[in-house]
Amino acid sequence: MRTAAELAALAAAGTVPVLAYLAIGLWLARALKRPERGAERLALCWLLGTGAASLAILTLRALDLPVPLVALAALALAGLPALRDCRRSASEGSQRAAALPGAVDAASLCVAALLFVSAFGPEIAWDAVEYHLPMIQAWTDGPIRAIPGMLDAEFRAGADLLFVPAVAAGQPDAAGSVSAGFGLAIAALVRAESRRRASATAGSLAGLFSLLVPFTFAEATAATVDLAVGAYGFAALLAADRWNREGRIESLTLAALCLGFAANAKLHAAVLLPVALALVLLGGRPPPARPLLSRAALCAALITPWFVKTGLTTGNPVFPLLGGIFGYGPSSPELLAWKRGDVSHYVRVERSLPGFFRYLASLTFGRTYHVSGLLGPLPLALAPLAWTRPARPTLVLIALLAVLALLQFLFMPALRFGAPLLPFYALAAAVGGARLAGSGLAGRRAVAAALVVSGAIAWVGAAEKLAARLVALREPSAYERAALPAQANLREVVARGDAVVAIPRGAVSWMPKPVYNLHWSRNGELFFDERTNPDAALALLRERGVHSLAIEAPRGRSPRVGHPIVDAWLARGDATLVPDPNPPSAGRDRVWRLVRLR
Amino acid sequence: VGAPEPDATAPEPLTGWRRSVAILWLAGVVALYVAAQLGLPIVR
């Protein structure tokens, strides 16, 4: 049970960094003379501030310099004067007089506030505790460096670095507030663009449903980075589209900044660079060479620090790409090929035209892990209604988004990898909904009924999770144990082991002691199965300082654990099984056992 | 670089048979969604 003081510390660790990032963005937006106002300006400030702050934290932590909350609090206060830039003018303010959009916006604000606070709840998202938070903990305990046996530390981690202040303050649960910030930013951008393309009511509703959609709820409360990639990518493509429609050079600057931040957050977002370039070259208003090249140089400058970091820690500045030229760093060609295959195939979809349509249907109705039902019904129900003869910029945008959606389906079908595309589905749904609602009473009633039904279902699902997370703010351990019981049990076993403790596939690295994750996808260097010789595995683990292993075993009194390598060690006396009359459950008929290496 | 396009463009309302088809489509998708939420296996 957390005390009031502990809750205050949690709230400070979750709120202060967010306000500091926003303050940086407020000043950057002023320097860039961004014209946006209101929530849209705040969203853009968030993107600019987080992108810049991430690069600053990269520099600070590379030099092993601290990122204390006190300094961030001062930074947050310094942003206050620039807040007035967000105010609307009197004429803009009069557009907000309509009752329905105002009421919907008020509901959105309530949902946003609940989402933000619930993001302080205990971290139970698998990826967050498997590698995002452990990596940031390692880079908080020491400088940013290569971490042998932690492959994820060699990929881009621009958004991960935003978790550093919360983790450094000893409040890792508060790191999720950064993801909530990105979720709110996406909703604000969707709202603003939908207002431009449809109506004020459609914009406000699109913003609200962007918050309520299951994908946002799953990601916005977790210390993961997909919403960050989604927000940067969406803003970049929107800015490129605005260049096509308006021809203002600041749009190219914003696109370049957001593209750089997206690529820093996750390497696969670099695919948006050629897409944005194609958008401005083919969208009917090809930019003059000089401003285009200068924005390309700006983008290159933003992504260079991560090339330098990766070059220093792996020897390959574009790791894990071009291994044949620059080397495979801490990994091997075979293992990296397995990792590529894993990303492509761990979501089972049939790569065919019918398979593509089944995949799309699964996003709304399905039962496929990492895909199903995450979008809710509105994109499928309303987005097709938006189709009309589009102007050239919109046609090019739609064509490029279709190419991206196809690439995602073929190579990375988990929905989170398509995060930059999802806000466009909301935008299309807003336009489609506005067209039907504008067609007469029957159309308006149909749209209203669909919104009420889907909103009620979304809210019921969300409210249950929100309530549980809010209760868990005071009592986190019961919530964590209920969400990931096998991991809670494993933590007890790891606590008894001699560090470094090796943990098996199916375990998360967020543990009370230093651990070595035996999952090849996480360690990047060891297939801990029949493919590896037991002597080679033992030598590598000793090199990594491993003294004990926590491993899943069948329930019972067997002197073996049922793992080819560990059983070989036990038979030869290289390891011993620690006696435990009542080993904790690892799920179903399995238990966690502790093995000590000799 | 050319003249800017108008920013706010009210989308053209659906009319005639398109409106009828759109209402049916919307109702169908939402009904299937509700069914899926209730446990009906619509698609894998």
Yes or no: say if B30 and B23 are a contact pair by the CB < 8 Å rule. no
Q: What is the pLDDT of residue A94?
A: 53
Among chain B residues, CA nearest to A192: B8
Q: What is the pLDDT of residue A360?
A: 86
pLDDT, chain A, mean? 93
For B16-41, write each residue's pLDDT tens digit. Answer: 999 999 999 999 999 999 999 888 88
**In three state form, how does the secondary structure of A349-405 look?**
CCCCHHHHHHHHHHHHHCCCCCCCCCCCCHHHHHHHHHCCCCCHHHHHHHHHHHHHH
Q: What is the pLDDT of residue B1?
A: 39
Separation in Å, CA of B17 to nearest CA in chain A: 11
Write the DSSP assignment of A314-361 as a string of letters.
HS-TTTTS-HHHH--TTS-HHHHHHHHHHHHHSS----SHHHHHHHHH
Rg over CA atoms, chain B: 18
For A468-515, write each residue's pLDDT tens digit. Answer: 999 999 999 999 999 988 888 899 999 999 989 999 888 889 998 999
Chain B residues whose beta carbon lies within 8 Å of the beta carbon of residue A364: 29, 32-33, 36
Neighbours of A435 (CB within 10 A): 27
Q: What is the pLDDT of residue A346?
A: 77
Separation in Å, CA of A201 to nearest CA in chain B: 12
Separation in Å, CA A335 to CA A428, A488, A507, A535, A595: 40, 29, 19, 19, 26
Q: Which residues of B touch A (CB under 8 A)?
A: 1-5, 7-15, 19, 22-23, 25-27, 29-30, 32-34, 36-37, 41-44
Scan for tokens 């990601």, then name that residue.
A219
The residues of chain A scoring below 50 in pLDDT are none
ipTM of the complex: 0.89
Nearest to B33 among A195, A364, A434 (CB): A364
| Inter-chain residue contact B5 with A198, CB threshold 8 Å | no
**In three state form, how does the secondary structure of A545-592 look?**
CCCEEEEEEECCCCCCCCCHHHHHHHHHCCEEECCCCCCCEEECCEEE
Nearest to A454 among B10, B30, B44 (CB): B30
Confidence of residue B4 (pLDDT cuts 50, 70, 90): very low
Nearest to A367 among B13, B25, B44 (CB): B44
Q: What is the pLDDT of residue A433?
A: 97
pLDDT of B3 > 50? The answer is no
Residue type, A256: A
Q: How far is CA A500 from the centre of its chain?
A: 29
Separation in Å, CA of A154 to nearest CA in chain B: 35
pTM: 0.94
Q: What is the pLDDT of residue A88?
A: 76
Nearest to A373 among B5, B26, B36 (CB): B36
